[in-house]
Structure 1
Amino acid sequence: MEITEKEVLNKWIEYTLTNDNGIQVSLLNYGGILTKLVVPDREGKLENIVLGYQNFEDYEQDSNYFGAIIGRVAGRIENASFELDGKTYQLKTNEGNHHLHGGESAFHQVIWDAMSFQNDDEAGVKLSHTGSDDAGGYPGRADVTVTYTLNNKNELLLDYEATTTEKTILTLTNHTYFNLTGNLKDTIENHQVSMNSEQFLELDEALIPTGNCLDVAGTPFDFREGNRLAAGMHSSHQQNTIAGGGYDHYFLFNENEVPHISISEPTSGRMLDITTNQPGVVMYTSNSLDKALQLSDGNSRKHAGVCFETQASPASLKYHQLPSIILGANDTYKKQTCFTFHSK
């Protein structure tokens, strides 16, 4: 195992973790942004499988949240307000009338305190951040740590932990865009995805969940036995159309099953397995990605990457049948998502 670090902008440090199999993970202390992830294909060729900017400065005004830690609340909060114990809290709007991914100057746009570590079998970076009281309109001060760990089993673990001084709301995720073709050689249309989910949340025209949990059976949202992402990108299903030609939906994992997602790409042979103790995942297929962005492996385009945002849904603030995102003052938020890389 090896870990290196270099300064890329004023006070920005990029850490690169390398395991004994040649897998490399690069991340910034700014936003906890995962900038590059290099893994082998079936022939052993090492290539980057995540989207990131060619110029680090572009992360400062990034509306796509490439590779970033998202919080305090991942996802959209309708009308930028919520009620907690009879009190209404108003947040800042940053997507029409709504509040998206923690708002402006959220976790994706702060410099985190960073501490690296390594031993014979793993290397990682522990990121810590303390938000101010009432930051962005959220009640309480949140103390958050996110730890990235790469090991010799070709696992990348993201461990999230948080406490708060007051009862508040919180659900964290990572917003990495994956493309297993390597070095952005093609879109994600032929990526094969399977996940143990029987229901997803219906969206309205503003991409806000309606509270209806729709069955995946007989729809392009059925990934229980595996399905190509192209199934939703070329679909006339109203929900795929609303999302801009693809997916931007919250899938609820089946109860009493270990949440599991598998992704494979036939040309490279690369495979990615995702396990988590989160109750669901937003799968987003970069339906609105700007074509003009200069990425490390070429220009961006629609369907250039797919995000798997493991999290609870902020729709639970309105629809209480969904897993809650409320965090009590004496409680600890503790979640983990594991990405495992292999090929066939």
Structure 2
Amino acid sequence: MIVSRTAQQSALALSLMVACTGTAHAASAERAAAGALKDGTAVEAITLRNANGVVARILSYGATLQSLVAPDRKGQPADIVLGHQTPADQEARRTFFGATIGRVANRIAGARFTLDGVAYSIDKNDGPNALHGGGQGFDRANWSVARLVSGPVASVVLTHHSPDGDMGYPGNLDVTVTYSLDEQGNLGIVFEATTDRTTVVNMTNHALFNLAGDGAPQGAMLQRLTIPAARYTPVDETLIPTGELRSVNGSVFDFRKGRVLAAGARDATDAQIVIGHGYDHNFVLDKGQTATPELAARLEDPASGRVLEVLSTEPGLQLYTGNFLDGTVIGKGGHLYRMGDGIALEPQKFPDTPNRPALGSVRVVPGKPYRHAMIYRLSVSKR
């Protein structure tokens, strides 16, 4: 697939946005074989590396962030995202770890929606609902590696074609994901899509983070999270938003001044925590939809000093505390993943938006491409 001029321009724009002016170093992008899927399809790995010890490994399968290495306050590196050891493992056990999610992230009630008066039934893969695009979403596709760049900002562009009717969605969709890493520790991700027919699109990345390091025995629940959101969307028993935009005041959903995750994720006095088996909820970011990425979340591990800031153009953020990790998933390095071993911070438009116009729109039309830009910004706290 030929990379569109729009994709090239977006890669350049993101590079300029996260680049360190006058940097004396150059980040690198390297490409290598990463194994094969069950049918023999070859998977590639792209490694983006900067001079300050940040290393991102991206797989073509699922356009997946398989690994993200970052130093702690003593300079010691650790991989801070959960993941599978090989593409074959990822294919065999669908967990969404680090994958690109689409066409529509999160849940769509009843696996159906109406668009311009036409009813669509899409792939049902989460009880009565559709989740993360359906049974064969973007996380199950082996993307094409279209372009690599080394320099002040290293980047890779991956492309995928989703045909009309794919998982029940209308329109031929050409999708591009661009990962960029600069010398300051900013890992940028830009999602873009064009269609030949009115459709719905809502993409994100599904990395699960543990700033103490993948497989750290204490898990991620003692880390401190801040979300600038005065409201969230409560859910029903199938994790579909009820339509209410509820205030976080006085609840375990108030992360505006920072909160240790364990303090709320185990609080059975809140009915929403019981329904979600922890946090599995969308927050209504105070910033709303923005032209350039703004702060959506800040996660800090006091023990290591690692800090992750998530910035995005999108109005919502899904917080998921790994509630369905039950000790049966074996990840990188032979680590057995359990509940709370990682948390997802997924910028996106709100869940079930195709069925709830009051929550916004994920409608995409010909001639007006979809675009979501986000950044994982890494730093270290010295205290």
Name 1:193's counterpart in structure 2. 225
Superposition deviation, residue 30 in structure 1:
0.7
- Kept in 2, the 8 Å contact 1:25–1:36? The answer is yes
Matched, 1:272 2:304: no
Structure 1 SS opposite 2:338:
coil
Letter aligned with residue 242 of structure 1: I
- Kept in 2, the 8 Å contact 1:14–1:27? The answer is yes
Question: Counterparts of 2:213 and 2:108 in 1: how far apart (Å)?
Answer: 34
Matched, 1:77 2:108: yes
Deviations 1:242-282 (A, max 9, x none): 111x2110101114684431110011110001111001110
Name 2:187's counterpart in structure 1. 156
Letter aligned with residue 320 of structure 2: Y
Name 2:276's counterpart in structure 1. 243
Q: Within 5 A, what are the aligned runs for 1:123-134? A: 123-134=154-165
Superposition deviation, residue 95 in structure 1:
1.1
Question: Counterparts of 1:335 and 1:73 in 2: how far apart (Å)?
Answer: 13
Q: Within 5 A, what are the aligned runs for 1:167-182? A: 167-182=198-213
Deviations 1:110-161 (A, max 9, x none): 1111134233311111011111111111111111100000111110000111
Name 1:122's counterpart in structure 2. 153
Name 2:353's counterpart in structure 1. 316
- Kept in 2, the 8 Å contact 1:161–1:334? The answer is yes
**What is the TM-score of this pair, normalised by structure 2?**
0.87
Deviations 1:193-238 (A, max 9, x none): 1111011111111111111111101001001111111122221211
Pick the structure with more helix per residue.
2
Name 2:66's counterpart in structure 1. 35
- Kept in 2, the 8 Å contact 1:116–1:123? The answer is no
- Kept in 2, the 8 Å contact 1:163–1:332? The answer is yes
Letter aligned with residue 235 of structure 1: D
Deviations 1:294-313 (A, max 9, x none): 11141111111010111002
Kindly tell me: are residues 269 and 255 of structure 1, through their superposed partners in 2, closer, same or farther at Cα, counting changes over 3 Å?
closer
Name 1:232's counterpart in structure 2. 264
Structure 1 SS opposite 2:357:
coil
Where structure 2 has 5 or more consecutive residues not aligned to the other structure, the ranges are 1-26, 37-41
Superposition deviation, residue 333 in structure 1:
0.7
Pick the structure with more strand per residue.
1
Question: Counterparts of 1:116 and 1:305 in 2: how far apart (Å)?
Answer: 31
Structure 2 counterpart of 1:7, from 11, 25, 33: 33
Structure 1 counterpart of 2:249, from 209, 217, 227: 217
- Kept in 2, the 8 Å contact 1:259–1:279? The answer is no
- Kept in 2, the 8 Å contact 1:279–1:323? The answer is no
Question: Counterparts of 2:355 and 2:126 in 1: how far apart (Å)?
Answer: 19
Name 2:196's counterpart in structure 1. 165
Question: Counterparts of 2:67 and 2:348 in 1: how far apart (Å)?
Answer: 22
Structure 1 SS opposite 2:303:
coil
Name 2:9's counterpart in structure 1. none
Structure 2 counterpart of 1:106, from 125, 128, 137: 137
Aligned residues: 343
Name 1:331's counterpart in structure 2. 368
Percent identity, aligned pairs only? Answer: 35
Structure 1 SS opposite 2:273:
helix
- Kept in 2, the 8 Å contact 1:314–1:325? The answer is no
Structure 1 SS opposite 2:113:
strand
Superposition deviation, residue 330 in structure 1:
2.2
- Kept in 2, the 8 Å contact 1:123–1:149? The answer is yes
Question: Counterparts of 1:154 and 1:45 in 2: how far apart (Å)?
Answer: 15
- Kept in 1, the 8 Å contact 2:113–2:121? The answer is yes
Name 1:59's counterpart in structure 2. 90
Name 1:22's counterpart in structure 2. 53
Letter aligned with residue 208 of structure 1: I
Question: Counterparts of 1:133 and 1:78 in 2: how far apart (Å)?
Answer: 21
Name 1:87's counterpart in structure 2. 118
Letter aligned with residue 286 of structure 1: G
Superposition deviation, residue 105 in structure 1:
1.6
154-163 vs 46-55, which moves further: 46-55
Matched, 1:283 2:309: no
Letter aligned with residue 274 of structure 2: T
Where structure 1 has 5 or more consecutive residues not aligned to the other structure, the ranges are none
Q: Which of structure 1's runs of 4+ aligned residues deviate more than 4 A?
A: none
